[in-house]
Amino acid sequence: MSANTPAAAPAKSKKMLVIIIGVVVLLLVVGGGAAAWFMTRPQGDAEESAVAARKEAPKVAPTFLAMENMVVNLADPGGDRFAQIGITLELEDAKTSDQVKLYLPTIRSGILLLVSQRTSSELLQREGKEKLAADILREVSRPLGYSVPSERERERERARAAAAEDDAGEEDRPVRKRTERNPVYRVLFSSFIIQ
CA distance 145 to 151: 19
Of the candidates 194, 182, 84, which has an alpha carbon nearest to the alpha carbon of residue 137? 182
pLDDT in tens, the chain (195 residues): 555 555 556 667 788 888 888 888 888 888 888 877 777 765 555 555 555 555 555 577 889 999 999 999 999 998 889 999 999 999 999 999 999 999 999 999 999 999 999 999 999 999 999 999 999 999 999 988 888 777 777 677 777 777 766 665 544 444 444 457 889 999 999 999 999
Q: What is the pLDDT of residue 82?
A: 93
Output the pTM of the full model.
0.59
173 and 164 Cβ atoms separated by less than 8 Å: yes
Q: What is the pLDDT of residue 8?
A: 58
The domain covering 63-164+182-194 belongs, at the CATH homologous superfamily level, to Band 7 domain (3.30.479.30)
The residue extents of the domains of the chain are 63-164+182-194
Q: What is the pLDDT of residue 118?
A: 94
89 and 100 Cβ atoms separated by less than 8 Å: yes
